[in-house]
Amino acid sequence: MQTILITGTSSGYGLEIARHFLSSGWNVVATMRKPDSSLLPQSDKLRILPLDVTSEESISAAIATAGPIDVLVNNAGIGVVGAFEATPLSYIRKVFDTNTFGTMAMCQAIIPQMRERRSGAIVNLTSSATLAPMPLAAAYTASKQAIEGFTGSLAHELGHFNIRVKLVEPGYGPTTRFAQNVGIRLEDLIPQAYADYAAPVFAGYANPAMTTREVDVAATVWDAVHDTAGHLHFPAGADAIALHLSRFGATPTLR
């Protein structure tokens, strides 16, 4: 049975991805900064490991403990919405450290064993914000757009070794808690000068008809892991699918 390692499984998409693969009989290595065994059902197919994707030492320890990994899912992320001019650069660096460099570091740590076996899959989660410009999300979008380009190039590079690399692009999911992890308040990122502009934007984000569910993302990750047709982009959720079709017209492939 294959083994999947998922980052950021303490809540939201990562937690549901872990549940989905565990219920399907996979060996699951669920990683989180502060391990909590109560979040997932007890199983001899489950291991919960501590992992901070911004720490090289933490990554090395987790990879060494996990053993052979067939699939890596880079889900760990933090977000920011607000006026760019009001967003501290120190916070933006934290966003890039996790969303961009954390993903790259995990890939770099796992590639050698996959290359030696000439098999494996890597799935990087980005966002529907990469599919069309979205207001009040400049810094977050930049951190995810970097991974879009990185993943596309890496897919070609690692295809030589029979390693499949995929993008899953979730839509807006206000039920996720990724923006609560770095100690910054939304109201601090919306100066009074932006108040009239921001109100309808956030009202649109709150539309329940366009909310991406955790189960949608987990099912899409499953599809990406099992794809052998060369597809790169996998939108997840109604809004992401609509944006994807508007941009591409159909699911693009590597070739």
Question: Would you please indicate which residues are annotated as catalytic (active-site) residues?
Answer: 140
Is residue 16 packed enough to be buried (19+ CB in 10 Å), middle (13-18) or exposed (0-12)? buried
Which amino acid belongs to residue 251? T
